[in-house]
Structure 1
């Protein structure tokens, strides 16, 4: 059996974007830092990394669609944070952000990762933005690094 599996490597020429929803910036700034660190640690050239800032998680799919249509990027890493409050707003925003990212991705053949946190508490968000549960921004970036390599293997 032939196994096709992506490796954790970049050649330094990949053009990658991070789309960040600024709302809850105390959390999302850490997610961006994790994604950028992962990109550089795996051989990415910082000059080939763009940060696209949008107001919040709801706007991420719109910026993603525009970035995908531009043809400028080899991969896109989406990060943001939606933290549950006392109203149903959390349910609507988290669902629409997730559906929007998936929908935009389906019509394009480049890797896109969803590193948008959807947590019940600020403490859970902090845990996932670089403390005891790791950094989900870094994980979202490693996902697209692996997928970039996998796509390259599948095109051979």
Structure 2
């Protein structure tokens, strides 16, 4: 193994691996890493959608459903629940996740700073609530809530210039559901129920 020494001002000599050795090490770890597949056959999903800002959330939901469909999830394997706003997403997401009927949940919402006086409070509650729903249930709960400064930015992420983040949310749910399924099958993670 070839090593070089680097001297920092006032620091001891530190051995540094050659770049080629470092690349081989990273490549071998990456090859051994576990990732979830994007094949969704046999999986069930829940989607919780906020009605507030439905000009944004409806196209996001369409993106979620398209993402599932394109990856082998029949529409009857997706349960959609509507809630008043993004603040209410975590409660229903957690309830669905703990039911034992779903492999992952996607939460869909839109909070626009200019349109919501209490933007920070709603975003903070939705974010921590969705994270808590996943942590408490052991089921992936994907955060697909657009948090933007303007309605234009939100629409750009709901099928506009920036694509459809709902579609990406579906892919995240599929990947995470498969990853946890694989880890549990190998005894590397516990079942949530």
For the aligned pair, the TM-score class normalised by the smaller chain equals over 0.9
Per the TM alignment, residue 131 of structure 1 is displaced from its structure 2 partner at its CA by: 1.0
Q: How many residue pairs get matched?
A: 155
Q: How far off is 1:92 after superposition? A: 0.7
Q: Over aligned residue pairs, what C-alpha RMSD do you find?
A: 1.3
Q: Identify which of 52, 55, 59 aligns with 1:26.
A: 55
Return the TM-score normalized by structure 1: 0.94
Alignment partner of 1:85: what SS?
helix
List structure 1 segments (4+ residues) > 3 angstroms apart after TM superposition. Answer: none
Q: Mean Cα displacement is larger for which, 1-10 or 26-35?
A: 1-10
Q: Per chain length, whose mean CA-contact separation is higher, i.e. which structure has more relative contact order (CA < 8 Å, sep 6+)?
A: 1
1:3-152 equivalence runs, <5 A: 3-11=33-41, 13-85=42-114, 88-152=117-181
Give the distance between the partners of 1:87 and 1:138, measured in 2 at CA: 25
- Tell me which moved more, 104-113 or 117-126: 104-113
Superposed CA deviations along residues 19-59 of structure 1, whole A, max 9, x for unmatched, are 00110001000000000000000010111111100000000
C-alpha change, 1:26 and 1:3, in structure 2 (3 Å) is: same
Q: Distance in 1 between matches of 2:175 and 2:98?
A: 22
Gaps spanning 5+ residues in structure 1: where?
Answer: none
Unaligned runs of 5+ in 2: 1-28, 187-193
Distance across 1 between alignment mates of 2:117 and 2:76: 40
The separation in 2 between residues aligned to 1:123 and 1:87, in whole angstroms, is 14
Q: CA deviation at 1:74?
A: 1.2
Moved more, 142-151 or 48-57: 142-151
